[in-house]
Structure 1
Amino acid sequence: MTTSPEQFDADFRKANGSYAITRERLRAAGERARTAEVMRRAAVAEMGQAIREHRAALDDVSPNLRTLHRIQMEDAEELTGVSRRTLSEAARAAAERSDAEVAAEYRAYGYDLHYGGEELHRRYPQLAGLHEAIKLLSSTQSERWLAEHPDEVFVPLLDFTEEQLVLKNEYERRVNAIAEGRIVR
């Protein structure tokens, strides 16, 4: 069976459109999953910190009050929905590297999330928020470009918009401040 040029063109556009849409859906879903995982790890780390700080506060009170106000891991599990094992591990986990060391590594590796960025985002959720805002603006810019160029499959590397530059500069300013010890939690 021979396909007419019109049918081939229609099939090509259909396949190409589906390809582009599916890639974008997968990318967007992947970003949401990564964001959710970063936020989950940050929340678990915060739970561990809260438990450590509460234990430290109880060290300075009388034994009767310590027993009365101790948070049992079963209660913490019920309050958080996180397993006792995960909570216990989070409570035992002490920050081995300082914030400045993590930020300096991240900066030295050109803001590669795998080299200190994920850890820094867990410690400073506002940095994760700025990072996500930059990615959202980039995604929106790419979507606009694709809408303006419907026959293209791939988006070229685009220049930063003014809004992206403002966020990027603020993000880097904060990372630098942490790396240099000017911002302390």
Structure 2
Amino acid sequence: MQAQRLVAVLLITLMAHAGAAGQARSRRRVPAPASKSVVGIEAIDFENYTYTLEGRSYKLIGGYYAKGVAPEAQWELRVAEAPYYGDLTGDGRNEAVVVLSHGAVGGPHTVEARVYTLRDGRPAQLFSFPVADALSCDLDHYVDLDDGKVRVESVHGRAGRCEHNEIREYRWDGGKFMAVGDAKTMPCRCM
């Protein structure tokens, strides 16, 4: 009986000690609040980034992602041109504009220009400009930034063929990008 009491007291003492040690360890694991880092969006590697498209995530490597859909067809998502950087919202910090192209390899592609900003140190998509919808037309550039405005050249057509291009400027109004002036229509300049 005395041996059982001794074992019980010993077990209670060990459990209390283990609980206190565990609490001390968990208190030590809590990191101190991180100081706000001053990292610009230029530090984000958009060519090795995970993009969401139609509810699915795609990890680009070197600006490219490919997936075999069928033995004779392959689908791709790629960065169509290097990102552009500029303060587009008037907050004193740069945003990034990334042009993405996706579709069947060698076939018509859908192209969009996405504007990203930093929120809590992470890229967040702010807006998307449609550039081309299922067309076989590549441009040497789709976007220009000028004095806080985004100039987007979009491709318009039917049945996978370009009929004309339009250049339109947009400015941030505090909640979204709004068109500034009229669109300029031009002949196709597909490469």
TM band (smaller chain):
under 0.3
Question: Normalising by the residue count of structure 1, what TM-score does the alignment of the two structures yield?
Answer: 0.25
Calculate the TM-score normalised by the size of structure 2.
Answer: 0.25
Q: Report which of the two structures shows the higher radius of gyration computed on alpha carbons.
A: 2
Q: Which structure is higher in helix share? A: 1
Q: Which has the higher contact order (CA 8 A, sep 6+)?
A: 1
More strand, by proportion: 2
